[in-house]
Amino acid sequence: EVQLVESGGGLVQPGGSLRLSCAASGFTFSSDGMHWVRQAPGKGLEWVSFISGNSDTIHYADSVKGRFIISRDNAKNSLSLQMNTLRAEDAALYYCTRGPNYAGRFDDWGQGTLVTVSS
């Protein structure tokens, strides 16, 4: 059974930083593409970032480019999102998702970790 468990969310001041993590199990982690998708309270879904299985391809949404950094450790089956210079509009539930490498699809989702940006 695929399991994706996010952690690291919390309250941060505008301009601050936060690092999200996702622990993966139940599949061959190094073979799959991983994404972060976020959802602001009461709003729709927004794709944030993608990293390929061997980390050779990385993409970001324009809204986070230059501020967020995605990475993965295939030895530890873990995915991370380093979020810097946080803004109020970054407040959301952040989901870790997986799908076929480079496919741009979200086959499985974690339960999410909540990021609140407020002074």
Partner 1 sequence: EVVLTQSPATLSLSPGERATLSCRASQSVDIYLSWYQQKPGQAPRLLIYDASNRATGIPARFSGSGSGTDFTLTISSLEPEDFAVYYCQQRRNWPPLTFGGGTKVEIK
Closest separation in Å from C-beta 57 to partner 1: 10
CA distance 98 to 107: 6
- Please identify, using beta-carbon distances, which residue of 35 and 72 lies nearer to partner 1: 35
**Which is nearest to 97 in space by CA: 114, 79, 83, 74?**
79
CA distance 9 to 116: 8
- When binding is defined by CB under 8 A, the residue of 5, 30, 47, 114 that contacts partner 1 is 47
- Please identify, using beta-carbon distances, which residue of 89 and 107 lies nearer to partner 1: 107
The pair of structure tokens assigned to 5 is: 């468990």
- Please identify, using beta-carbon distances, which residue of 42 and 75 lies nearer to partner 1: 42
If binding is defined by CB under 8 A, does position 89 make contact with partner 1? Answer: no
